[in-house]
Amino acid sequence: MTAPDNDELLAKVHLVGIGGAGMSGIARILLARGREVSGSDARDSRTVLALRAQGAQVALGHRAENLDQLDGDPTAIVVSTAIRPDNPELLEAQRRGVAVLRRAEALAALMADHRVACVAGTHGKTSTTSMLTVALQHCRLDPSFAIGGDLNDSGANAHHGEGGVFVAEADESDGSFLVFAPSVAVVTNVEPDHLDHHGSAEAYTAVFDEFVRRIEPGGVLIADADDPGAARIAELGESEGLRVRRYGREVTGDGDARIVGYRPEHGAGIATVELQGAEARRVDVQVSVPGEHMAANAVAALLAGLELGASLEGLLDGLAAFGGVRRRFEFKGAAGGVQVFDDYAHHPTEVEAQLRAARPVAADGRLVVVFQPHLFSRTAAFAGEFAKALGLADEVVVLDVYGAREDPQPGVTGALIADAVPAAAERVHYEPSLTAAAPLVAGLVRPGDLVLTMGAGDVTMLGPEILEELERDGAAAEAAE
């Protein structure tokens, strides 16, 4: 019996946790290609409502009968790493003999017959993938794409394009990105993370070695030479016979992009870059989001876009027009003279980079960070590093751990981080109650301050709540006068 081709396999697909960032993107592309789609999620959301409007059948809660929303059995069921082995829909699919695909396997099937560009790395992959996508769209190449965050311009995290190119964020957290075989691969950086799955720093970095070996013959690896982990990956790629293009402060080789300067400008940034080789010239790469790390991501996207056949001028214009990604230094509003932003940073290096980027935006005001640790395993492994990074802020509020898929670990709470922030004294506050956080922050800030809510969990809900508290306090002060 022969295995079904991709059209047969993805004819009628059920997605468990369809409202998630990665799963909803797959659903959007399947629907755009005319496939039948059903799914389930724990709760309603704007994403679930949008998928229903596109034609998906979505049930709330996880039950075996959710597989019966379409006419006949699904041809495949798609699950993410967040879905536990005892999920009733997964068990029912196995009982019926329905093909079970990991999220990355479904995405790889959607990539068939496309030229594939994958962006991998411990940090920055969502932003870099988004920048590349928007730049290619600006060049009218209409790429298909799947990203781990919603583009601010379109509000979407995925799209079925007609341009023959597929741009995807390659998630290393469970090693599943090894199912991809890109012709253009970007590695932004490599630092130990997701040790709950990989077990050790060595095992984590080893999956990037295998990812590089998955690049198609004749393909190209684009790597950040300023990051030791990515620089090692670049050397490995060359030893394997790959063509490698590097970007960073010190590079000078053929095809490289040397960053010779960076300046913040009105909450954004401009990197001056010297392109080497066939495109040799000096250009300014303008990015609408602050931070030199974001400018470096834009340079990576520029090199990838050139490899995909886009024009230099079109890519530069597209990068300048990039409107950002939801939860990547996303402006939530201002009240009482206080600006409020939200960011997804959940690793010490990301926290440090984003706080440094936020500092010039705060100008003469104080930088107030509200940080929610993500995963008990990550908190236990990196508490000291998180505390050091958070020490860059003027006021720090640490929430309790957002456990996500993990069970609690005795003694592992946000206090591990709060107690270790350098020179903590009265400027660091551990607040285990999410409900109490917004009033606490509103009482700490003063006009001119910048508040940054940060983390991969439900801390994102706090921005609007903080703004409401500030508006309420302002109205009360006016009434008292």
Residues noted as catalytic: 125-126, 169
- In the block, tokens 């620089």 appear at 231
Write the burial class of residue 70 (CB in 10 Å: 0-12 exposed, 13-18 middle, 19+ buried). Answer: middle
Distance CA 29, CA 367 (A): 40
Give the DSSP per-residue string, 254-313: TT-EEEEEEEEETTEEEEEEEE-GGG-EEEEEEESS-SHHHHHHHHHHHHHHHHTT--HH
Q: What is the CA radius of gyration of the chain?
A: 23
Q: Are β-strands 450-454 and 367-371 bridged in parallel, bridged antiparallel, or unpaired?
A: parallel
How crowded is the C-beta side of 375, counted as CA atoms within 13 Å?
17
CB 350 within 8 A of CB 392: no
Helix, strand, coil content of the chain in percent (nearest 5): 40, 25, 35
Closest CA to 362 of 382, 337, 343, 387: 337
Beta bridge partners of 263: 270
* Residue 429 tokens, joined: 């506050």
- The CB-side HSE value for 300 (13 A sphere, CA atoms) comes to 35
In angstroms, rounded to a whole number, what is the distance separating the alpha carbons of residues 148 and 265? 27
Helix or strand holding residue 46 (H, E)? helix 46-54
> Residue 400: CB partners within 8 Å, gap ≥ 6?
372, 373, 413, 414, 432, 433, 434
